[in-house]
Structure 1
Amino acid sequence: MKRALVTLTPPESKRLIAKAVVAMPEVQRALKEGFVYIATGTTAAYIAEEILGKEIEKEKWTIGTISNGRTCVTPKKTWPKHLVLYRGEPFDDPQEALRRMGPKDVFIKGANAIDINWNVAVFAAAPDGGTIGKTFGWTITKGVFTITPVSLEKFVPTPVEESAKLTGIYSFDWGTGLYAALVPIPHSHPVTEVEAYKILAGVEAVPIASGGAGGAEGSVTLVLQGDDEAMERAREITRAVKGEPPLKPYTEDCSVCPFAGICGLGSKTI
């Protein structure tokens, strides 16, 4: 049994998790035989890159974002479309895909929180529920295999079903950014750094510390354990993701933001 100490920055974790999600047998099967629906988000953007084999502007591959020290949105002119693939090829009608998807298909949606019970939740700020509001009913009722890629930088100690009760776009008197509801995704399969190392290398990953400074803010530090062969795979995978560049802050101008009325900055309550 060998052991290693590894620290991953948030971008490195996102790249690791993306590689693991693509390697999952459920995803590989769906890429060959059915639908893979990737909802927009920065972590999902890494998954899109791994599948498409090309670089995309990951900062712009989202609508809601936590950036520049606040909950916010990206500029409306850059809002992306979800990436939907059918048998590995682009499928242009996301709504039709949702109608046709079933248990052998895959839906991928990032998250803003993972709690002590490994339950996940995502922010929604649009009055119609945004992405999760428009897709949740389709995926949960038909048993679509739902994957939530989420780094342990987003770990929260409070169970998400409890913290969700405190939120809502009209629930706050003031704040430092966009108001949002926290929406649990109870039927999802979370993939963190722990699952990623298991999928890609067959090693046990135990998170032991978080945070840092000088570019390591939000980092996750893990102990990896496994036999010689598995740990060598883990070493190569770690080398492959180290040095992943940080994402650039990217937020909307408050003076033109369509969500200014439900934002502490936009409504000038702070």
Structure 2
Amino acid sequence: MITTFALHPAASKHLIAKAVKVLPEVENAFRRGKIFIGAGTGNIAVAQELLNIRLDKPGAYVAGVTTQQCACSTAVNERRGPFCIERGRLIKTDNWLDFIRSMAPGDIFIKGANALDPEGNVGILMADPTGGTIGNAMGILKAQGIQMITPVGREKLIPSCREAEKLMGRYHIGHRFGLKTGYMIVPNSTVITEIESIKILTGLDAVQVAGGGVGGMEGAVMLAVEYENEEQSLYLLGLVKEALRQPQLKIQHKKCSECTDPCDFISGFKGEE
């Protein structure tokens, strides 16, 4: 028999975060080593699960964000930075890059993504001219061989991250709604979607069978999961029901009046009547 259900994006993030928390390598790094969690909506869910906290202002831990009809960013002066965790404790650091440089084998770098393709590549948009978190960290991670984990919902599935990277770039973009962005493919990350999460948490195999929705289910993914007995099905649906209770994140992008490179959304464009 199979069970079916749909997860809205906040529910997916919650389920994925629960799975990331119980990965053996994450549990080991949390107890004995270091974990870096970047800014982002999916990353917030992971940080809250790992640290057993609830953030009062989640928007402060987001940089780039697609909201209010634009792919934009939050106000820089309101951000609180990434999460640097050492032996289970959130620590303060003046420079998060120094924290990454101090990582050793067994430590973990966690960063969400803007895109995922069927080959398992993830794509990350980069509005910062220097590449932002991923652009500055990737050389260190690759040089040192630090494991990267990418929690990402299947709402972000695209045909090919490689084709997207060929097209994108700040200098390539003219008129637009939102920020100019570059693009980086990240191969060989440990990708955790809803599919992997269900396997980790229940041992069951899931297949995505549909996507989309309205009335709060925009961006939803519908999954079908094969189960062997009633107990497995009820346990899974309990996890799903808990996830579906998660409120959708409402995050504001920075004020258009404060933008140093205004887009056509605010300034108007020739095709506008």
User: Is the pair's TM-score, using the shorter chain for normalization, greater than 0.5?
Assistant: yes
**1:79 alignment partner in structure 2:** 79
Alignment of 1:4-153 (within 5 A): 4-56=3-55, 57-93=57-93, 94-153=96-155
Paired with 1:257 and 1:25, the residues of 2 have a C-alpha distance of 43
8 Å CA contact retained: 2:4, 2:222: yes
Deviation (angstroms), 1:37: 0.4
Q: Which moved more, 1:106-115 or 1:86-95?
A: 86-95
Paired with 1:186 and 1:168, the residues of 2 have a C-alpha distance of 19
Alignment of 1:194-233 (within 5 A): 194-228=195-229, 229-233=231-235
Any stretches of 5+ residues in structure 2 without a counterpart?
Answer: none
Provide closer, same or farther for how the CA distance between residues 266 and 101 of structure 1 changes in structure 2, counting only shifts above 3 A.
Answer: farther
Deviation (angstroms), 1:59: 2.8
Paired with 1:63 and 1:235, the residues of 2 have a C-alpha distance of 33
Moved over 4 A (4+): 266-270
8 Å CA contact retained: 1:140, 1:187: no
| Amino acid paired to 1:83 | F
8 Å CA contact retained: 2:121, 2:188: no
Deviation (angstroms), 1:205: 0.9
Query: Any idea what SS the aligned residue of 1:81 has?
Result: coil
Query: Any idea what SS the aligned residue of 1:111 has?
Result: coil
Deviation (angstroms), 1:102: 2.9
| Amino acid paired to 1:44 | N
8 Å CA contact retained: 1:202, 1:226: no
Alignment of 1:178-257 (within 5 A): 178-228=179-229, 229-257=231-259
| Amino acid paired to 2:122 | V
Provide closer, same or farther for how the CA distance between residues 143 and 255 of structure 1 changes in structure 2, counting only shifts above 3 A.
Answer: same
For normalisation by structure 2, the TM-score amounts to 0.92
8 Å CA contact retained: 1:35, 1:87: yes
Provide closer, same or farther for how the CA distance between residues 269 and 168 of structure 1 changes in structure 2, counting only shifts above 3 A.
Answer: farther
8 Å CA contact retained: 2:120, 2:187: no
**Structure 1 vs Structure 2 CA RMSD:** 1.6
Residue identity over aligned pairs, in percent, reads 35
